[in-house]
Structure 1
Amino acid sequence: MTPEIDDLFAAIKAEHGSDALDRVEEMLEPRRRSETRHPLQQDAKWVLPGISQTPWHDPYAYPELLPLVTELESHHAQIKADQERAWVEQRDSFSDYEHYLVSQRNWQALYLYRDGALAEESQRVAPTAYRVLKEHAVDTDVICPLLESHFSTLLPGASIKPHCDLWNFSINLHLAIDIPEGAGLRVADEARTWDEGKCLLFDYSFEHEAWNGNDERTRTCLLADLWHPETTRAERVALTALMKEIQKMMAG
């Protein structure tokens, strides 16, 4: 770690207790790891010890996330209307999704939150989703500032190859916007489909893939990368700074 990270960790421990970052420090020293990874979690870069090895989660089970889930679902009709209007009238607001694996032309994204901040230009294009996300994810600090929120549209016949995302300390929420027959999602060893207007919640450090098997219609969900509910406030501060520093070193 860098001197800046060492100083931050010391300050966090002084405020929250000497053991506040035990799991983060264990993650950084694999030889100290007290538990093994799930076989379908092996390709994740960072696995915080003590997080439940549960691929699928109940989106209604966590009080911290429930206001966001409830508001997204209750405003589904307007969120869908905004997205459909943007898809027809403001297609330049969408771009090829820049997944860390590859940029896919058949996977289109309209970003609401990116690079640690709301994408202000999306407020005009998707006002309902923008407002709900701001009030119930950004202002409440449940969104992971290392990642993003976006409308995710798979074109007819598109698929996302099986992969593990980078870590397990954030969790992925999907609001099903427009779901054609033939679309599905597998996380670990269980495949599900989306129920339009409802949310799914899963740990994407487990191997997962998605597909739109419909040859005529697009599949659209609203995705939000949230802090895993089993992380602490102290860990979130430390992990944000740590991952930003690692990304900076890798870029340099």
Structure 2
Amino acid sequence: MKEASKIVDNLNEDEDPFWQLIEPLILSEFPRSEMERVIGFIEYSTNKRSLPPSIVDDKWRPHEEIHAFMASCSRRDGIPASPFRDTSAFPFIAELEANYEKIKAEFEALLEKESDRFQSVTSMNYKSGWKTLVLYYNGHGIDGFPYHLCPVTKSILDKVPVAGRIAGFNRQSPQSGIPLHSDGNNMWLTCQMGIKVPAGQKAWIRVGPETRRWAPGKCLLYDTTFEHETFNESPDEERVVLHVDFWNFADLTPMEVRAMQRIYQLREMYLQAEGLLEVGGKL
């Protein structure tokens, strides 16, 4: 398949018919009084607004890579920005950690029976030694996926507004890592729980100026608008994490989350209809 994040790639194209139609469509489905920041997101996507100095002047957040942005508005505070976030605002993270042993066993069952589902989901994956078994794509489940092999993982993720990329198990080969990049969307966060971590916690992620290491059964929560990179220092052990991109429901209203889910659903349908997005059979 093409990269999952392509759902919102090339947003800054003011001649794209999709973005000319989406505002009136959303306002026909959701109350205007709740859509101020969503409309702002659409205006950023069509170059009708500029990024604020808080991003442009932040050396750790490559503003030229920001392609989907929701700003503060007159009624509400903006979306907080820090490389790593406190996990306590998101109860599902504690639930993931409490079920670590079961989730690890489910990963091993999937690895044994569905190993051919591991694939590259971004252009950098193959070269960087990173492959993913996708459980959710663009916020929805995968037709025909053997969810009976991972019932606990599914039951927890079904409670989460999974965002416009993926949730799944990521494998990182020994002596490899993801090169420095940022993901350009400030409306969702990324949670990763260590499933298999090399001895001595030899796998790390740097987000902005801060570096942390994965631990078995523990989650890291971070903001991918900050530049980030990873590396597995082990010479012979892979690193596996459960990766979840989700709508930041601590800082977005429930109505905003639903509206953004609707936009991304429509964007996926549009790209598929235009032949610009192909969902591969392995999903």
TM over 0.5, yes or no?
Answer: yes
Q: Which TM-score bucket, shorter chain as reference?
A: 0.7 to 0.9
Displacement of 1:171 in angstroms is 0.5
Q: Does 1:70 align with 2:94?
A: yes
Moved more, 219-228 or 42-51: 42-51
Alignment of 1:1-252 (within 5 A): 2=19, 4-11=21-28, 14=31, 16-17=33-34, 19=36, 21=38, 23-28=40-45, 29=47, 31-37=49-55, 38-42=58-62, 43-49=65-71, 50-60=78-88, 62=89, 65-66=90-91, 68-87=92-111, 89-90=112-113, 92-104=115-127, 106-119=129-142, 120-134=144-158, 136-137=159-160, 142-144=161-163, 146-180=164-198, 181=200, 182-228=202-248, 229-243=250-264, 244-245=266-267, 248=271, 251=276
Alignment CA distance shift 1:212-1:103 (3 Å): same
Tell me if the contact between 1:112 and 1:122 (Cα under 8 Å) persists in the aligned partners.
no
Measured in 2, the distance between the counterparts of 1:102 and 1:179 equals: 19
Q: CA deviation at 1:108?
A: 2.4
Amino acid at match of 2:81: Q
Change (3 A) 1:16 1:190: same
Q: Whose strand fraction is larger, Structure 1's or Structure 2's? A: 1
Deviation of 1:190 after TM superposition, in Å, equals: 0.6
C-alpha distance in structure 1 between counterparts of 2:34 and 2:119, whole Å: 44
Q: Percent identity?
A: 23
RMSD between aligned alpha carbons? 2.7
Gaps of 5+ in 2: 1-17, 72-77, 278-283
Question: Structure 2 counterpart of 1:52, which letter?
Answer: P
**Alignment length (residue pairs):** 241
* CA distance in structure 2 between the partners assigned to 1:150 and 1:79 by the alignment: 12
More off after superposition, 186-195 vs 31-40: 31-40
Q: What's the offset of the Cα at 1:24?
A: 2.0
Q: CA deviation at 1:105?
A: 7.4
Asked if structure 2 preserves the Cα contact closer than 8 Å seen for 1:13 and 1:21, the reply is no
Structure 1 counterpart SS, 2:22: helix
**Per-residue Cα deviation, 1:18-60 (whole angstroms, up to 9, x for no partner):** 7353542453346454443122222232232222221110111
TM-score, structure 1 length as denominator? Answer: 0.82
Which residues of structure 1 form unaligned runs of 5+?
Answer: none
Q: Is the 8 A contact 1:20 1:234 kept in 2?
A: no
**Aligned amino acid, residue 46 of structure 1:** A
